[in-house]
Amino acid sequence: MQTPRLPPFDFQPQPYTGPSPDEILKLRQEFLNPGIFLYYKKPLTIVQGKMQYVWDETGRRYLDALGGIVTVSVGHCHPEVVAAAQRQNELLQHSTTIYLHPNVAEYAEALAAKMPDDLKVCYFVNSGSEANDLALLMARAYTGNYDMIALRNAYHGGNSSGMGLTAHRTWKFNVPHSFGVHHAIAPDPYRGVYGRDDAEAGRKYADDVQSLIDFATPGQVAGFIAESIQGVGGCVVFPDGYLEHAYKYIRAAGGLCIADEVQTGFGRTGTHYWGFETQGVIPDIVTMAKGIGNGAPLGAVVTTAKIAAALAQRVHFNTFGGNPIVSAQGKAVLEVIEREKLQANSLSLGNHLAAGLERLEAKHNLIGDVRGKGLMLGIELVKDRATKEPAKAECAQILETCRNLGLLLGKGGLHGQTIRFSPPMCIHQADADFILAVLDQALAGV
Ligand SMILES: Cc1ncc(COP(=O)(O)O)c(C=O)c1O
């Protein structure tokens, strides 16, 4: 079998002169959080990036098909995004909301223009966890209710409220958490009780939301939060109609509906700009991070003026939220997505990649399921298609082989059994074909 070759790319990375990987590892082991994990047996050091590619310290190039964990939306160091941040860096790096600054105001206007209906009021924060924390506060302040419904298999952040909403043991510390949060059954058509052959699966899964309202709450809730596709949970796509029914039950119980678009926003799903649109719903609150800033520490919450008014009962302040530099960078990201038609690229290359993954599924028994939308795709690996036993070790092995062949992928799912594909939306067909060729070889080697 021939070794697949990375598509040609006319770019010369700078020579790297910093500490060696061993030295970095030593520093990290001595001075950084011991709980953080590394992906590969021989850790990978990345020192430069350009569009869909990154380089290690030796100058070796890799295709970044994970996009810095779904964060590099328009390409590493996209020239327009870099220029926007650099221009602002030289003028004024920081002000806060106690003064006027054009960047945050103009950025809010541009972001609001992307939202449907009267979702027009923007709050800027520094991360997805913070965005969800604020959304939770908003739902409670507006409704006067306390209980929240989230989903099993969800990931919403690593701060204490995000951890409470999250529903994987992996990320939950054994401390008081999940105050008032109840987790409904994950609407997972592959592992759940209602499969893709059940046209009513969306409603049937949503009935568990109603059941929680009836049996686990006073009958009134503050709200419901869901990712539009579960990312960390392994790219789980809900059956049609799920959010529509869940939202109906929540609103009838006085609650607000929150869409966590941290991974699914900004055109990544291809057919729509926002993931919730793929389910035909309009939330009351939308949270964003990751791809919003193409790598800048930026998150946002967008809601209606009526809901925002509830949060004006007290001062809500965030020192860095909407900082002039990240606002410039976030606005440039919106412009690049538009000008370079990256949503359309997500759709066509996502479809191309998904079709190739389905061909690999026909060839390799290890693939139990192929799923996703646009450039947010996943393949779940199983030891046996009948028992669906998660193929955790095989998944890790495939990631290692792919890395050795120049391809960086992600993994997800409770057991780390699902390979995830979320490259920058600027990839070309040759990149998608490279992903498929490398994966084919890696799967054959298991
Ligand atoms: C769907 C979702 N929400 C929230 C978060 C938390 O974002 P952050 O890590 O920026 O706090 C993540 C992070 O992976 C995420 O995937």
SS3 sequence, 338-363?
HHCCHHHHHHHHHHHHHHHHHHHHHH
CA–CA dist 407, 40 (Å, integer): 12
Q: For position 2, what pLDDT does the model report?
A: 86
The pair of structure tokens assigned to 82 is: 């870099």
Mean pLDDT of 400-414: 98
Q: Report how far ligand 1's centroid is from the alpha carbon of 157 (Å).
A: 5
Residue nearest (by alpha carbon) to ligand 1 atom 8: 128
Judge whether 326 and 142 are in contact, CB under 8 Å: no
Please choose from 263, 276, 318, 420 the residue to mutate so as to test ligand 1's pocket, defined by most ligand atoms within 8 A of CB: 263
Closest to 190 (Cα-Cα) out of 248, 229, 224, 226:
229
Please choose from 126, 156, 276, 285 the residue to mutate so as to test ligand 1's pocket, defined by most ligand atoms within 8 A of CB: 156
Closest to 404 (Cα-Cα) out of 77, 39, 51, 25:
39
Can you tell me which atom of ligand 1 is nearest the CA of 130?
11
pLDDT-based confidence at 177, cuts 50/70/90?
Answer: confident
Pocket of ligand 1 (CB under 6 A): 127-129, 132, 155-157, 227, 231-232, 260, 262-263, 289
**Mean pLDDT, the chain, whole residue set:** 97
Judge whether 311 and 304 are in contact, CB under 8 Å: no
pLDDT tens-digit readout, 25-70: 999 999 999 988 899 999 999 999 999 999 999 999 999 999 999 9
Please choose from 262, 264, 288 the residue to mutate so as to test ligand 1's pocket, defined by most ligand atoms within 8 A of CB: 262
pTM exceeds 0.85 for this model: yes
DSSP secondary structure code for residue 8 in this structure: P
The pair of structure tokens assigned to 378 is: 């996943």
CA–CA dist 25, 145 (Å, integer): 47
Q: Report how far ligand 1's centroid is from the alpha carbon of 178 (Å).
A: 17
Mean pLDDT of 374-396: 98
Q: Report how far ligand 1's centroid is from the alpha carbon of 296 (Å).
A: 14
Please determine, for residue 184, whether its predicted confidence score (pLDDT) is greater than 90: yes
Residue 320: Cβ within 10 Å count: 15
Q: Report how far ligand 1's centroid is from the alpha carbon of 39 (Å).
A: 18
Can you tell me which atom of ligand 1 is nearest the CA of 129?
11
Can you tell me which atom of ligand 1 is nearest the CA of 299?
10
Q: For position 444, what pLDDT does the model report?
A: 97
**b/e string for 344-360 if b means 16 or more Cβ within 10 A?**
ebbbebbbebbebbeeb
Q: Report how far ligand 1's centroid is from the alpha carbon of 74 (Å).
A: 18
Q: Report how far ligand 1's centroid is from the alpha carbon of 262 (Å).
A: 6
Please determine, for residue 1, whether its predicted confidence score (pLDDT) is greater than 80: no
Mean pLDDT of 342-368: 98
Judge whether 238 and 187 are in contact, CB under 8 Å: yes
Q: For position 36, what pLDDT does the model report?
A: 86
197: burial class by Cβ within 10 Å (0-12, 13-18, 19+)?
exposed
Q: Report how far ligand 1's centroid is from the alpha carbon of 128 (Å).
A: 5
pLDDT tens-digit readout, 147-175: 999 999 999 999 999 999 999 999 999 99
CA–CA dist 55, 46 (Å, integer): 6
Return the SS3 of 76.
strand
Judge whether 417 and 395 are in contact, CB under 8 Å: yes
pLDDT-based confidence at 14, cuts 50/70/90?
Answer: very high
Q: For position 193, what pLDDT does the model report?
A: 97
Q: Report how far ligand 1's centroid is from the alpha carbon of 155 (Å).
A: 7
Mean pLDDT of 188-213: 98
pLDDT tens-digit readout, 256-302: 999 999 999 999 999 999 999 999 999 999 999 999 999 999 999 99
Mean pLDDT of 421-430: 98
pLDDT tens-digit readout, 80-131: 999 999 999 999 999 988 999 999 999 999 999 999 999 999 999 999 999 9
Q: For position 37, what pLDDT does the model report?
A: 87
Q: For position 96, what pLDDT does the model report?
A: 87
